[in-house]
Amino acid sequence: MKKKIEKKYVDYLVKKTEEIVNIDSPTGYTEEAASFVKKEFEALGFNAYYTVKGGIIVEFGGKDKDNGLLLEAHVDTLGGMVSRIKPNGRLELTNLGGMNPNNAETENVKVITKFNGEYEGTFQLNDASIHVNGKYNEQKREWSSCEVVLDEDVKDADDVKKLGISIGDIVCFDPNFRVTKSGYIKSRFLDDKLSVGILFAYAKYLKDNNITPERAIYAHITVFEEVGHGGCGSVPKGCTEVISVDMGCVGENLDCSEKQVSICAKDSAGPYNYNVVKSLIKAAMDNDIDYAVDVYPFYGSDAEASLRAGNDLRHGLIGAGVYASHGYERSHKDGAENTLRLLIAYTTD
């Protein structure tokens, strides 16, 4: 049976993706985003609860409780943390997750203090005026060679400290979300908030169509994926399989485009379960879903973290194609739709 979906589900997932993208949630600072996720799934009629670590488990129902499937996506993103208040009143950062200063230069940021509100600024190369800095093009972009220029009247470190800014404060980078007329979705942090949007649409589809899956289906929205331990706990009892719904890679020597769903056969940690990969491919083929199978050279997932933690599970990884990962990323409505269709086909046939 070919699983077609109505346009309203794609519109819904894009809307929810924009909403969650615009909630700051660099890894280690995810409470507001997790609260949003919990309330949204509950509003759709599903039981959702917090893990001790701060993630969300969602119960989609299902008949066979001893052969459960866990879908994992993460709401934590890349970001920064104040590591030094410099004598000139600028802020030096350390990265949260794989944030790369080459991809962050000139971006607007928000500094979230622990007790004294928020301040705006811009992440710039040190001495960023090209008409002044004759070595501008030669300087390597590193965390030590870049800084946050606060949009406040500060001249030295004491002025900054008087604002209540201190070491360990969180720095959030603007996502700059937009959808083009041609259907491209552009934003920071589509990895992995686009997948969270897809899971919202998956939940809505189950609810609208009164579907009870043959297997028990759960979702785990993790909050520490970007530092490697998001999926290391909280696997519901009875689960035998885990699938990460994360970004699909788009780049040189890979087959996937932004308009496809990517099925990962292997990444930097090794191969995904052969039978899971094969079953995902068959579900895509049987339902005329536009897909690609790829090997990702520099990638790890929540599903692998679940196995490394000692869980006895089959594992897989799928996701909408995303270009320029960990930078200003781009996907497409078609890729999101194909991912949603594959989830529906794989879990309800």
The vertex-240 CA angle with 235 and 245, nearest 5°, equals 65
- The H or E element containing residue 34 is helix 31-43
Answer whether 188's CB lies under 8 Å from 326's CB.
no
- The H or E element containing residue 334 is helix 333-348
User: Encoding tokens for residue 58?
Assistant: 């969602």
Smallest CA-to-CA distance from 56 within 216, 196, 154 is with 196
Cα–Cα distance measured from residue 225 to residue 305, given in angstroms and rounded to the nearest whole number: 9
Catalytic hit among 40, 225, 226, 241: 225
User: Which residues does residue 329 pair with via DSSP β-bridges, in sequence order?
Assistant: 187
225 catalytic? Reply is: yes
Q: Amino acid letter at 296?
A: Y
Phi, psi of 113 (to 5 degrees): -80, 165
Judging by DSSP bridges, how do beta strands 314-323 and 248-250 pair with one another? parallel
Task: List the catalytic residues.
Answer: 225
